[in-house]
Amino acid sequence: MHTVHKTPAVTVTAKATRDLDADLLIIPVFEDDDLAGESELDTASGGEYTRARSRGEFTGKAFEQFLTSVSPGTWKAPRALLVGAGGRKDLTAERLRRIGTIGGLAARQRRMTSVAIALRPVDGVKSDRAVQALVEGAILANFEGMSYKTAEPRPVWLEHVELRLPNGSPDPAQALERGRVLGEYTNVARALSNEPSNILTPREFSDRAKDIAIAAGLRVEVLDEQQIAALEMGLLLGVARGSGQPPRVVVLHHEPKKAAKGVVLGLVGKGITFDTGGISIKSADNMDKMKDDMSGGAAVLCAMAAMSRLNAPVRCIGVIPATENMPGGRAIKPGDILKSAEGKTVEVLNTDAEGRLILGDGLWYARKLGATHLVDVATLTGACVVALGKTTSGLFGTPAWWVEQVRHASERAGDRVWPMPVFDDYKDLLKSEIADFTNTGGHAGGAITGALFVKEFTGNLPWVHIDIAGTAWAEEAKPYQPKGATGVAVRTLAELALDAESWINLT
């Protein structure tokens, strides 16, 4: 296997556009652009800019691209890529992030290894957010999904990204570092999700998690099958029974020196390294995609690594229950009863509803370790994909103020979420004749009953559940989003912790 991502060197400068030295110069251009600060663009492009504008070939619509060569003797960079930035008033950090990705991908496709991005003076997006987003975007472009091809040419990596900031911008050092770390760990999560399940077994996942965590300065323990049994995590053990691979629980601790007292963020991520459905087996179509069913776990791991590297000012505990969900002679069967570590009993009506089972024991463990505020992330339900599609994650939880904080964090991160209800009425759908509840509520409201099952294990702490079943994997490439694992929720969770001061006094 060869490297699947690389974090380029990132620098900032205040140089004039003409002096920016890179293989490709990226210039965001608005629909209604007066070229303030870039009045040389037309001369430098040998008149191409005006011609493209008047022909309607380039309008500045969001994410449109126009590549032009630079006339000798004008600007230093040999090529410039104009990227549509849309309406000046509609500019968001997410749009800048995508422009960064477009620029990075465009360079790599042309076998170029350095880009300079000319950030224009922008209103509406704060300077530090703009810097962070552009850096994240450019790093997200430095990722390849295919890592096991032997005949493919080696990918070309961006080695250097230079950001040119408008004169008088505030010190960008912190934003640059945030962008670098969050971009890098989003890619680390993507690489994990892309790994096939014969390579990324629960043991391998926990080994890699350990390495990643230690390198980032986190404290980490990995519970093996004996320790899991000693804790009586009957839901996790039940799911793991059908597999020849033993389960693991990765436990991560972020303990900053300066942290608010009495607040411990508890993050729990679904770590199913492959989901066949178990005895309630899935159909063959697209089953291969179920290698990404540990994306929630990868998001928790990578977000916590980022928190540690960036010194997020809040204590945080991460719990990642990891197992395969397999059929087999020892596998649990529909109708079986499992007992959770917390003591609650579950009638397993469908072995394919395994994610909520392992989250149940994971959430209990996070609470046992002292979590005061919970967030879980999981590729939990196909029903969430039906409800919200493939670009928006489902956001569930209670109380409303806590859900709101996670929503704000996701907005900063550029991970799209949309709120879904957790009304008690839906709980009737989980009624069991012989256990405390069943693990499935049927088709109607399937994403919501999944969330309500998980809620049973939150001990009434503030809790949010993010269903990333639709968003963890991009089926088709977009100019700003390569195909494959997306690393969704890494930045949301990290942003939540980085800006903890904004919610701690609300508790």
**Opening angle at CA 411, ends 465 and 356, nearest 5:** 15
Total residues interacting with Mn ion, rule: CB under 5 A: 3
List the structure tokens of 48: 């191409």
Task: Decide: 112 and 25 in contact? Cβ < 8 Å.
Answer: no
Give the three-state DSSP class for 463: strand
- Which residue, 271 or 414, has its beta carbon nearer to Zn ion? 271
Crossing angle, helix 400-413 and helix 490-498, to 10 degrees? Answer: 110
Helix 173-194, helix 295-309: angle, nearest 10:
150
For ligand BES, the binding residues in 385-404 under the rule CB under 6 A are 385
If one asks whether residue 381 binds ligand BES (CB under 6 A), the answer comes out as: yes
Nearer to Zn ion, 271 or 355 (CB): 355
Span near Zn ion by CB under 5 A; candidates 124-132, 191-199, 258-266, 273-281 = 273-281
Cα–Cα distance between 78 and 24 in angstroms, integer?
7
Work out how close the CB of 354 gets to ligand BES at its nearest, in angstroms, rounded to a whole number.
5
Compute the distance between CA of residue 94 and CA of residue 174 in angstroms, rounded to an integer.
Answer: 18
352 binds Mn ion (CB under 5 A): yes
Least spacing, CB of residue 423 vs ligand BES, in Å:
18
Residue 463's closest CA among 392, 378, 371, 384?
371
Q: Is 225 in the site for ligand BES (CB under 6 A)?
A: no
Q: Does 94 bind Mn ion (CB under 5 A)?
A: no
Catalytic (active-site) positions: 282, 356
Instruction: Provide the minimum distance between the beta carbon of 31 and Mn ion in the complex, in angstroms, as a whole number.
Output: 45
The verdict on 24 binding ligand BES (CB under 6 A) reads: no
299 binds ligand BES (CB under 6 A): no
Binding residue (CB under 6 A) for ligand BES from 355, 394, 414, 487: 355
Phi-psi region of 382 (alpha: psi -120 to 50; beta: other; left: phi over 0): alpha
User: Which of these, 349, 383, 362, lies nearest to 296 by C-alpha position?
Assistant: 362
Q: For 37, which DSSP code?
A: T
CB 325 within 8 A of CB 351: yes
| Residue 275 interacting with Mn ion (CB under 5 A) | yes
What residue is closest to ligand BES based on CB? 382
| Backbone dihedral angles phi then psi of residue 89, each to the nearest 5 degrees | -75, -20
Report the residue from 166, 328, 382, 459 that binds ligand BES according to the rule CB under 6 A: 382
Q: Which of 254, 455, 486 is nearest to 390 (CA)?
A: 486
Query: Quick check: 99 and 29 in contact, CB under 8 A?
Result: no
Minimum distance of Zn ion from residue 292's CB (angstroms): 10
Burial class (CB in 10 A: 0-12, 13-18, 19+), 403: buried
Q: Taking each helix axis from N to C terminus, what angle separates 490-498 and 295-309, rounded to the nearest 10 degrees?
A: 40
Closest contact distance (angstroms) between CB of 352 and Zn ion is 7
DSSP string for residues in 353-376 = --HHHHHHHHHHHHHHTT-SEEEE
Q: Is 350 near ligand BES (CB under 6 A)? A: yes
Residue 382 binds: one of Mn ion, Zn ion, ligand BES, none (C-beta under 5 to 8 A by kind): ligand BES
Q: x/- site string to ligand BES, residues 403 to 442, per CB under 6 A?
A: -------------------------------------x--
Q: Quote the Cα angle for 321-205-253, to 5°.
A: 60
- If the CB atoms of residues 350 and 398 are measured against ligand BES, the closer one turns out to be 350
Residue 424: CB minimum distance to ligand BES, A: 19
Which residue's entry shows tokens 């950030």?
Answer: 119
Does 293 sit near Zn ion (CB under 5 A)? yes
Q: Which stretch binds Zn ion (CB under 5 A): 5-13, 92-100, 144-152, 268-276?
A: 268-276
Q: Which stretch binds Zn ion (CB under 5 A): 65-73, 146-154, 193-201, 270-278?
A: 270-278
The CB-of-286 to Zn ion minimum distance in angstroms stands at 13
**Which run of H or E residues covers position 117?**
strand 114-118
Cβ at position 484, least distance to ligand BES in Å: 14
- Binding-site residue total for ligand BES (CB under 6 A)? 16
List the one residue from 23, 48, 184, 293 that touches ligand BES (CB under 6 A).
293
Among 446, 462, 484, 487, binds ligand BES (CB under 6 A): 446
- From residue 505, alpha-carbon distances to 206, 261, 338, 405 in Å are 35, 11, 39, 12
Tell me the β-bridge partners of 110: none
Residue 381 partner contact from Zn ion, Mn ion, ligand BES, none using kind-dependent CB cut-offs of 5 to 8 Å:
ligand BES
Counting beta carbons within 10 angstroms of the beta carbon of residue 505, is it exposed (0 to 12), middle (13 to 18) or buried (19 or more)? exposed
For Zn ion, the closer CB: 103 or 296: 296
Residues that bind Zn ion (CB under 5 A): 272, 275, 293, 355
Residues that bind ligand BES (CB under 6 A): 275, 293, 350, 352-355, 379-383, 385, 440, 446, 469
Residues that bind Mn ion (CB under 5 A): 275, 352, 354
